[in-house]
Amino acid sequence: MSTFFKKLDFTKYTINPVRLKRLVLVLSLVVGLVSGLAAVVLKNTVFFTHDLITHGFIFDDSNYLYLAFPFIGIVLTVLFAKYIIRDDIGHGISRILYAISRKQGRIESHNMYSSMIGSTLTVGFGGSVGLEAPIVLTGSSFGSYLGRLFRLNQKTVMILIGAGATGAIAGIFNAPVAAVIFSLEVLMIDLTMGALIPLLIAAAAGASVSYLLMGSGVLFSFDLVDGFYIKHLPYYIGLGLFTGFASLYFTRATIFIEGLFHKIKLKTTRVVIGGASLGLLIFLLPSLYGEGYEFLDLLINNKVDGLVNEDIISASSNTVQIIIFLGLIVLFKVVAMAVTNGSGGVGGIFAPSLFVGGVLGLLYARLINLFATSSIPEKNMALVGMAGVMAGVMHAPLTGIFLIAEITGGYELFTPLIITATISYLTIMYFEPHSIYTKKLAARGELFTHHKDKSVLQMMNVVSHLETNFKTIDKESNLGELVKVIANSERNIIPVIDDENNFYGLVFVNDIRNIIFNQELYNKIQVADIMYMPDPIVNINESMEDVAHKFQETSNYNLPVISDGKYLGFVSRARIFSTYQKLLREFSEE
């Protein structure tokens, strides 16, 4: 089918704005349907994989298969990525953000299926991560593919990428509103009607497919027994602070542990250490196995008899033992997740953040009820805690608020959700201005944001603006040889290089006009005597934001571009500004 489309050249046909908008709406519907279907397929594939390998599997801490299954899953995932895909298939959301900011929305086509297979192997065998990021990458990759197939501009491709992510989240959670907000908050899709309508269509399509094939409770659903009482307001404020600091631990511990694994150059060593560590963690705390939604559902609904770690926590356990157990779960779920991803597994932080938030909320409620005179509803605190940790870790308070509101089937907890999520977000923002998805990208200046000026600059790069029609001269040449070069040059700047293209400086024609017609000086003056080293100089890998800043600080119209001391060409103020204006107009249109 892709071969058939390649034979069609859509650039031969001029699509007027009205037809283009209609095309985008149709493609958004297709992307939403495919993303929703992919979410259903992935959830069922992981479920049946898990059911197949754990058939007759006794869930207690004496089962030594816990040591083996996660390790096997990581090994299979790494082998699949290395020998079949031959590419890194981890960190789905960060990959999408990088593609938007640095690759004109181009996501490798293999991500339409590779992340699903990789996450099935990882999570199906017990990897302590979520499926949301892989399925979001799947949907976004399909949107990117369709956008490039129809030769659509970068802004439209970004909308289709957002549609893919929206349909995936709507499908996997059956939460269309939260899905739209996720794309606006996390993927930085612009809030305009031209972008919002396609996202809404994709969300409705994804949720409809999910509902049709799996019913209303795709992951889990909760029925609230207790509503919100104003007397509990201080506790929700405290929960906001609690989840904010927990989010800080979640973010920093994840980055630290993954950083340690990244320093291990040999993949085999990384897999062995990670697989063995994960197996040991799950052997000691079996509730860390897989996504953890089943455990979370039982915990929140107070079905302690069904918990997988019955000999540690059971109906007869006292409150202190349960609190200690819940604390260990919160601490080590983050470690297990980071070890899974760091060692080569494929999965996201979406599910772990919900898991940690739910357990943390219940832990907080148990602590309050242990010492306070009045009791607070534990289920409510667990649900609101989920929104709090999600808001802090992902820096997406609205996504957390609406997701929990939708999966609880109502808005009775809307006020505490807003309070806790907002306080959690403000708390972590004081320490970490960027989310776990964007921290590394922001450090490299590769983060696309809602700030249009910066975002447009981040979409530009030095390579595409490189001008090479400058005549060069050897540093050993004299003035006479320089005059011959100037006579054949269209520019008034002459780069000075050597035989190996090393850059030594520039000769500015205006500076030597008083001597270039004096033939007596042609053999007396050397190029080295009249050249100068310009300041600043642009590196080929430098961000366009830094280049624009250099132009702003100087009066130069052209800046030389260097890579490892080698001359490559120039970037011009006029060309960069022209591209910037064009892109800004495109992204400002409805």
Give, to the nearest 10 degrees, the angle between helix 154-173 and helix 573-588.
40
Residue 63 confidence (pLDDT): 62
Do 388 and 240 lie in one domain? The reply is: yes
Asked whether residue 326 is assigned to any structural domain, the reply reads yes
Tokens of 508: 């500015």
- pLDDT of 180 > 60? The answer is yes
pTM of the model: 0.77
Tokens of 298: 């039982």
Asked whether residue 219 is assigned to any structural domain, the reply reads no
Give backbone dihedrals phi and psi of 121, rounded to 5 degrees, phi first.
Answer: -65, -40
Which is more confident, 483 or 224? 483
Residue 317 confidence (pLDDT): 53
**CATH code at 527?**
3.10.580.10
The answer to whether 132 and 169 are in contact (CB under 8 A) is yes
Percent pLDDT > 90 in the chain is 34
Mean pLDDT computed over 463-472: 87
Mean pLDDT computed over 196-222: 82
Mean pLDDT computed over 451-471: 75
- Centre a 10 Å sphere on the Cβ of residue 449 and count the other Cβ atoms it contains: 14
Which amino acid would we find at residue 76?
L
Number of domains in the chain: 3
Of 435, 455, 475, which closes a domain? Answer: 455
Do 128 and 273 lie in one domain? The reply is: no
Percent pLDDT > 70 in the chain is 85
- pLDDT of 360 > 60? The answer is yes
Mean pLDDT computed over 380-394: 93
Do 418 and 283 lie in one domain? The reply is: yes
- pLDDT of 336 > 90? The answer is yes
pLDDT digits (tens, 9 = 90+) for 518-568: 888 888 888 888 888 888 888 988 878 788 888 888 878 888 999 888 999
Mean pLDDT computed over 446-468: 69
Whole-number Å distance between alpha carbons of 507 and 487: 14
The answer to whether 135 and 38 are in contact (CB under 8 A) is yes
Whole-number Å distance between alpha carbons of 562 and 520: 35
Which is more confident, 293 or 390? 390
Nearest to 49 by CA among 379, 291, 352: 291
Of 166, 185, 214, which closes a domain? Answer: 214
Check the CA dihedral 459-132-436-540 and report its sign: negative
Residue 312 confidence (pLDDT): 45
Over 67-132, what HEC string results? Answer: HHHHHHHHHHHHHHHHHHHCCCCCCHHHHHHHHHHHCCCCCCHHHHCHHHHHHHHHHHCCCCCECH
pLDDT category, 306, cuts 50, 70, 90? Answer: very low
Residue 102 confidence (pLDDT): 72
Do 449 and 351 lie in one domain? The reply is: yes
Do 387 and 495 lie in one domain? The reply is: no
Which is more confident, 189 or 160? 160
Asked whether residue 535 is assigned to any structural domain, the reply reads yes
Residue 222 confidence (pLDDT): 63
- pLDDT of 451 > 50? The answer is yes
Whole-number Å distance between alpha carbons of 299 and 65: 24
Do 421 and 530 lie in one domain? The reply is: no
- pLDDT of 421 > 90? The answer is yes
- pLDDT of 589 > 70? The answer is no
* Lookup result for tokens 């909308």: 159
Asked whether residue 283 is assigned to any structural domain, the reply reads yes
Do 288 and 392 lie in one domain? The reply is: yes
pLDDT category, 61, cuts 50, 70, 90? Answer: very low
**According to the per-residue pLDDT averaged within each range, which of 18-22, 363-367, 452-456, 508-512 is highest?**
363-367
- pLDDT of 126 > 60? The answer is yes
Of 426, 455, 484, which closes a domain? Answer: 455
- pLDDT of 318 > 80? The answer is no
- Tell me the CA distances in angstroms from 35 to 32, 207, 425, one per residue in order: 5, 10, 29
Q: For all residues of the chain together, what is the average pLDDT? A: 83
541-570 exposure pattern, b = at least 16 Cβ within 10 A, e = fewer: ebbbeebbebbeeeebebbbbbeeeebbbb
Residue 309 confidence (pLDDT): 45
**CATH code at 17?**
1.10.3080.10
| Residue 13: DSSP 8-state | S
- pLDDT of 384 > 60? The answer is yes
The residue segments making up the domain with residue 557 are: 459-588
Do 7 and 127 lie in one domain? The reply is: yes
Check the CA dihedral 335-124-36-108 and report its sign: positive
Do 131 and 241 lie in one domain? The reply is: no
Asked whether residue 200 is assigned to any structural domain, the reply reads yes
pLDDT category, 58, cuts 50, 70, 90? Answer: low
Mean pLDDT computed over 289-304: 78
Do 174 and 318 lie in one domain? The reply is: no
Nearest to 171 by CA among 44, 48, 298, 296: 44
Whole-number Å distance between alpha carbons of 403 and 162: 17
Mean pLDDT computed over 264-270: 90
Asked whether residue 268 is assigned to any structural domain, the reply reads yes
* Lookup result for tokens 């918990």: 307
Do 440 and 466 lie in one domain? The reply is: no
pLDDT digits (tens, 9 = 90+) for 478-488: 888 888 888 88
pLDDT category, 120, cuts 50, 70, 90? Answer: very high
pLDDT category, 581, cuts 50, 70, 90? Answer: confident
Give backbone dihedrals phi and psi of 341, rounded to 5 degrees, phi first.
Answer: -70, -40
Asked whether residue 222 is assigned to any structural domain, the reply reads no
Do 417 and 548 lie in one domain? The reply is: no
**According to the per-residue pLDDT averaged within each range, which of 134-138, 185-189, 367-371 is highest?**
134-138
Asked whether residue 436 is assigned to any structural domain, the reply reads yes
